Amino acid sequence: MLEIKNLHAAVDGKEILSGLNLKVNAGEVHAIMGPNGSGKSTLSKVLAGHPDYTVSSGHIEFEVNLRMKNVLDMAPEERARNGIFLAFQYPVEIPGVPNSAFLKASYNAICKHQGAKEATDEMFGRILIEKCKLLNMDEKFIDREVNVAFSGGEKKRNEILQMAVIQPRLAFLDETDSGLDVDSLRIVAEGVNKLRKKDNAIVLVTHYQRILNYIVPDFVHVLYKGRIIKTGGKELALQIEANGYDQILKEFQN
Protein backbone atom coordinates (compact mmCIF):
# COMPACT_ATOMS: atom_id res chain seq x y z
CA MET A 1 0.00 0.00 0.00
CA LEU A 2 2.82 2.40 0.90
CA GLU A 3 6.34 2.17 -0.36
CA ILE A 4 9.08 4.60 0.56
CA LYS A 5 12.35 4.14 -1.32
CA ASN A 6 15.68 5.75 -0.54
CA LEU A 7 14.04 8.95 0.70
CA HIS A 8 16.22 12.00 1.30
CA ALA A 9 14.51 15.05 2.78
CA ALA A 10 15.63 18.31 4.33
CA VAL A 11 14.23 21.21 6.32
CA ASP A 12 15.91 24.63 6.41
CA GLY A 13 18.64 23.22 4.17
CA LYS A 14 19.55 20.49 6.66
CA GLU A 15 19.15 16.88 5.57
CA ILE A 16 17.11 14.91 8.10
CA LEU A 17 16.08 11.82 6.16
CA SER A 18 19.01 10.08 4.48
CA GLY A 19 17.92 7.11 2.43
CA LEU A 20 14.85 5.88 4.29
CA ASN A 21 13.07 2.74 3.13
CA LEU A 22 9.72 1.51 4.38
CA LYS A 23 7.02 -0.76 3.04
CA VAL A 24 3.56 -1.02 4.58
CA ASN A 25 0.84 -3.42 3.45
CA ALA A 26 -2.90 -3.27 4.03
CA GLY A 27 -3.95 -4.70 7.39
CA GLU A 28 -0.57 -4.10 9.03
CA VAL A 29 0.39 -2.05 12.06
CA HIS A 30 3.91 -0.64 12.10
CA ALA A 31 5.69 1.19 14.87
CA ILE A 32 8.55 3.55 14.16
CA MET A 33 10.75 4.27 17.16
CA GLY A 34 14.00 6.11 17.52
CA PRO A 35 15.93 8.53 19.67
CA ASN A 36 15.25 12.29 19.58
CA GLY A 37 16.28 13.94 16.34
CA SER A 38 16.31 10.72 14.35
CA GLY A 39 13.78 12.05 11.82
CA LYS A 40 10.47 10.59 13.02
CA SER A 41 8.47 13.79 12.81
CA THR A 42 10.15 14.78 9.57
CA LEU A 43 8.97 11.53 8.03
CA SER A 44 5.38 12.31 9.07
CA LYS A 45 5.55 15.84 7.71
CA VAL A 46 7.09 14.77 4.42
CA LEU A 47 4.45 12.12 3.96
CA ALA A 48 1.68 14.66 4.53
CA GLY A 49 3.34 17.20 2.24
CA HIS A 50 4.30 20.01 4.61
CA PRO A 51 5.69 22.84 2.44
CA ASP A 52 8.70 23.52 4.70
CA TYR A 53 10.20 20.11 3.92
CA THR A 54 11.93 19.39 0.63
CA VAL A 55 12.63 16.00 -0.86
CA SER A 56 15.91 15.89 -2.76
CA SER A 57 15.71 12.28 -3.92
CA GLY A 58 13.83 9.04 -3.47
CA HIS A 59 10.19 8.06 -3.87
CA ILE A 60 7.02 7.72 -1.88
CA GLU A 61 4.40 5.63 -3.60
CA PHE A 62 0.90 4.93 -2.40
CA GLU A 63 -1.68 2.60 -3.81
CA VAL A 64 -4.65 4.43 -5.31
CA ASN A 65 -7.28 2.34 -7.10
CA LEU A 66 -4.97 -0.66 -7.19
CA ARG A 67 -2.14 1.28 -8.78
CA MET A 68 0.94 2.73 -7.15
CA LYS A 69 0.93 6.53 -7.46
CA ASN A 70 3.69 9.03 -6.77
CA VAL A 71 2.75 10.79 -3.53
CA LEU A 72 5.36 13.50 -3.99
CA ASP A 73 3.43 14.78 -7.01
CA MET A 74 0.31 15.31 -4.91
CA ALA A 75 -0.68 18.44 -3.01
CA PRO A 76 -1.32 17.84 0.71
CA GLU A 77 -5.09 17.88 0.20
CA GLU A 78 -4.84 15.33 -2.60
CA ARG A 79 -2.87 13.00 -0.37
CA ALA A 80 -5.60 13.26 2.24
CA ARG A 81 -8.33 12.71 -0.33
CA ASN A 82 -6.54 9.61 -1.57
CA GLY A 83 -6.52 8.08 1.90
CA ILE A 84 -3.40 9.25 3.74
CA PHE A 85 -4.00 10.66 7.20
CA LEU A 86 -1.55 12.24 9.61
CA ALA A 87 -2.47 12.57 13.27
CA PHE A 88 -0.43 15.59 14.29
CA GLN A 89 1.97 15.60 17.19
CA TYR A 90 0.90 19.18 17.92
CA PRO A 91 -2.59 19.70 16.51
CA VAL A 92 -3.22 23.33 15.57
CA GLU A 93 -5.93 25.40 17.26
CA ILE A 94 -8.28 26.96 14.72
CA PRO A 95 -10.14 29.82 16.38
CA GLY A 96 -13.76 30.42 15.46
CA VAL A 97 -14.17 27.26 13.37
CA PRO A 98 -16.44 24.65 14.97
CA ASN A 99 -15.22 21.07 14.90
CA SER A 100 -18.41 20.06 13.11
CA ALA A 101 -17.87 22.55 10.26
CA PHE A 102 -14.25 21.54 9.86
CA LEU A 103 -15.03 17.84 9.89
CA LYS A 104 -17.86 18.29 7.44
CA ALA A 105 -15.66 20.26 5.03
CA SER A 106 -13.06 17.53 5.30
CA TYR A 107 -15.53 14.66 4.93
CA ASN A 108 -17.23 16.24 1.93
CA ALA A 109 -13.97 17.15 0.19
CA ILE A 110 -12.97 13.51 0.44
CA CYS A 111 -16.40 12.21 -0.65
CA LYS A 112 -16.38 14.52 -3.61
CA HIS A 113 -12.94 13.36 -4.67
CA GLN A 114 -13.94 9.74 -4.40
CA GLY A 115 -17.14 10.32 -6.35
CA ALA A 116 -19.33 9.57 -3.33
CA LYS A 117 -22.32 11.62 -2.31
CA GLU A 118 -21.58 14.60 -0.08
CA ALA A 119 -23.32 14.66 3.27
CA THR A 120 -26.00 17.16 4.19
CA ASP A 121 -25.90 18.82 7.61
CA GLU A 122 -28.41 16.34 8.90
CA MET A 123 -26.67 13.24 7.56
CA PHE A 124 -23.35 14.48 8.80
CA GLY A 125 -24.73 15.20 12.25
CA ARG A 126 -25.72 11.55 12.51
CA ILE A 127 -22.29 10.39 11.34
CA LEU A 128 -20.62 12.54 13.99
CA ILE A 129 -22.79 11.28 16.80
CA GLU A 130 -22.12 7.71 15.74
CA LYS A 131 -18.34 8.29 15.68
CA CYS A 132 -18.40 9.98 19.08
CA LYS A 133 -20.20 6.95 20.47
CA LEU A 134 -17.71 4.59 18.86
CA LEU A 135 -14.82 6.46 20.49
CA ASN A 136 -16.60 7.06 23.79
CA MET A 137 -16.38 10.78 23.29
CA ASP A 138 -18.67 13.47 24.62
CA GLU A 139 -20.83 14.91 21.83
CA LYS A 140 -19.92 18.38 23.12
CA PHE A 141 -16.65 17.93 21.24
CA ILE A 142 -18.52 18.50 18.01
CA ASP A 143 -19.58 22.04 18.78
CA ARG A 144 -16.30 23.25 20.20
CA GLU A 145 -13.85 25.27 18.12
CA VAL A 146 -11.19 23.05 16.59
CA ASN A 147 -8.69 22.27 19.37
CA VAL A 148 -9.20 25.69 20.99
CA ALA A 149 -8.75 25.43 24.76
CA PHE A 150 -8.54 21.64 24.44
CA SER A 151 -6.34 19.81 26.94
CA GLY A 152 -3.42 17.85 25.52
CA GLY A 153 -5.40 14.63 25.80
CA GLU A 154 -8.48 16.16 24.17
CA LYS A 155 -6.43 17.35 21.22
CA LYS A 156 -5.11 13.87 20.63
CA ARG A 157 -8.59 12.38 20.94
CA ASN A 158 -9.84 14.95 18.48
CA GLU A 159 -7.26 13.72 15.97
CA ILE A 160 -8.63 10.22 16.39
CA LEU A 161 -12.18 11.52 15.94
CA GLN A 162 -11.08 13.07 12.64
CA MET A 163 -9.54 9.75 11.68
CA ALA A 164 -12.79 7.99 12.49
CA VAL A 165 -14.77 10.40 10.32
CA ILE A 166 -12.38 10.40 7.39
CA GLN A 167 -11.63 6.65 7.53
CA PRO A 168 -8.23 6.82 5.86
CA ARG A 169 -6.57 3.77 4.37
CA LEU A 170 -3.23 4.76 5.85
CA ALA A 171 -3.07 6.48 9.25
CA PHE A 172 0.24 7.90 10.35
CA LEU A 173 0.06 8.71 14.06
CA ASP A 174 2.85 11.08 15.01
CA GLU A 175 3.53 10.68 18.74
CA THR A 176 -0.16 10.50 19.45
CA ASP A 177 0.77 8.95 22.81
CA SER A 178 3.09 11.74 23.94
CA GLY A 179 1.88 13.79 26.86
CA LEU A 180 -1.04 11.50 27.66
CA ASP A 181 -1.74 10.12 31.11
CA VAL A 182 -2.44 6.40 31.47
CA ASP A 183 -6.21 6.73 31.15
CA SER A 184 -6.10 9.05 28.14
CA LEU A 185 -3.58 6.76 26.48
CA ARG A 186 -5.87 3.79 26.95
CA ILE A 187 -8.87 5.70 25.56
CA VAL A 188 -6.94 6.90 22.51
CA ALA A 189 -5.48 3.46 21.87
CA GLU A 190 -8.87 1.78 22.16
CA GLY A 191 -10.20 4.31 19.66
CA VAL A 192 -7.45 3.47 17.22
CA ASN A 193 -8.04 -0.26 17.67
CA LYS A 194 -11.69 0.18 16.80
CA LEU A 195 -10.63 1.74 13.51
CA ARG A 196 -8.31 -1.12 12.55
CA LYS A 197 -9.48 -3.04 9.53
CA LYS A 198 -7.98 -5.55 7.19
CA ASP A 199 -7.85 -3.07 4.34
CA ASN A 200 -6.24 -0.21 6.19
CA ALA A 201 -2.85 0.25 7.76
CA ILE A 202 -1.58 2.14 10.78
CA VAL A 203 1.89 3.51 11.41
CA LEU A 204 2.63 4.60 14.98
CA VAL A 205 5.50 6.98 15.44
CA THR A 206 6.43 6.82 19.10
CA HIS A 207 9.05 7.24 21.76
CA TYR A 208 7.54 4.76 24.14
CA GLN A 209 6.71 1.13 24.16
CA ARG A 210 3.63 1.55 26.38
CA ILE A 211 1.18 2.44 23.57
CA LEU A 212 2.27 -0.79 21.87
CA ASN A 213 0.77 -2.72 24.79
CA TYR A 214 -2.59 -1.51 23.55
CA ILE A 215 -2.02 -1.32 19.81
CA VAL A 216 0.07 -4.35 19.06
CA PRO A 217 2.33 -3.83 16.05
CA ASP A 218 3.25 -6.36 13.41
CA PHE A 219 6.57 -4.62 12.81
CA VAL A 220 8.78 -2.34 14.87
CA HIS A 221 11.37 -0.17 13.09
CA VAL A 222 14.22 1.77 14.61
CA LEU A 223 14.90 5.08 12.92
CA TYR A 224 18.33 6.62 13.38
CA LYS A 225 20.01 9.47 11.49
CA GLY A 226 17.24 9.48 8.94
CA ARG A 227 17.29 5.79 8.09
CA ILE A 228 15.65 2.67 9.36
CA ILE A 229 18.50 0.70 10.86
CA LYS A 230 16.67 -2.26 12.35
CA THR A 231 13.31 -3.94 11.89
CA GLY A 232 11.79 -6.56 14.12
CA GLY A 233 8.58 -7.77 15.68
CA LYS A 234 6.84 -6.40 18.77
CA GLU A 235 9.59 -7.82 21.00
CA LEU A 236 12.02 -5.23 19.58
CA ALA A 237 10.04 -2.52 21.31
CA LEU A 238 10.30 -4.32 24.63
CA GLN A 239 14.01 -4.72 24.13
CA ILE A 240 14.36 -0.97 23.51
CA GLU A 241 12.26 -0.22 26.54
CA ALA A 242 14.53 -2.37 28.70
CA ASN A 243 17.95 -1.50 27.28
CA GLY A 244 17.54 1.81 25.44
CA TYR A 245 18.89 2.37 21.96
CA ASP A 246 22.58 2.00 22.81
CA GLN A 247 22.94 -1.62 21.92
CA ILE A 248 21.13 -1.27 18.61
CA LEU A 249 23.14 1.79 17.69
CA LYS A 250 26.36 -0.03 18.50
CA GLU A 251 25.38 -2.95 16.29
CA PHE A 252 24.58 -0.47 13.55
CA GLN A 253 27.85 1.40 13.88
CA ASN A 254 29.82 -1.80 13.75
Site residues for other proteins per CB under 8 A = 48-51, 75-77, 79-81, 85-86, 88, 91-92, 94-98, 101-102, 105-106, 109-110, 113, 145, 162, 166
Task: Count CB atoms within 10 A of the CB of residue 191.
Answer: 23
Whose Cβ is closer to other proteins: residue 89's or residue 209's?
89
User: Considering the complex, what minimum distance in angstroms separates the CB of residue 155 from other proteins?
Assistant: 12
E strand residue ranges, 110-242: 170-174, 201-205, 219-224, 227-232
Find the shortest distance in angstroms from Cβ 9 to other proteins: 16
Nearer CB in complex with other proteins: 109/249: 109
Closest CA to 168 of 139, 141, 197, 143: 197
CA-angle at 146, arms to 141 and 147, nearest 5°: 85
Identity of the residue, 107 or 224, whose beta carbon is nearer to other proteins in the bound complex: 107
Q: How far is the CB of 215 from other proteins (least distance, A)?
A: 21
Backbone angles phi, psi at 32, to 5 degrees: -115, 120
Our CB check for other proteins shows the closer of 102 and 214 to be 102
Query: What's the closest the beta carbon of residue 111 comes to other proteins, in angstroms?
Result: 9
Q: Classify the C-alpha dihedral 210-191-221-58 as positive or negative.
A: negative
DSSP string, 69-112: EEGGGS-HHHHHHTTEEEE-SSPPP-TT-BHHHHHHHHHHHHHH
Q: How far is the CB of 163 from other proteins (least distance, A)?
A: 10
* CB closer to other proteins out of 1 and 110: 110
Q: How far apart are CA 24 and CA 204, in angstroms?
A: 12
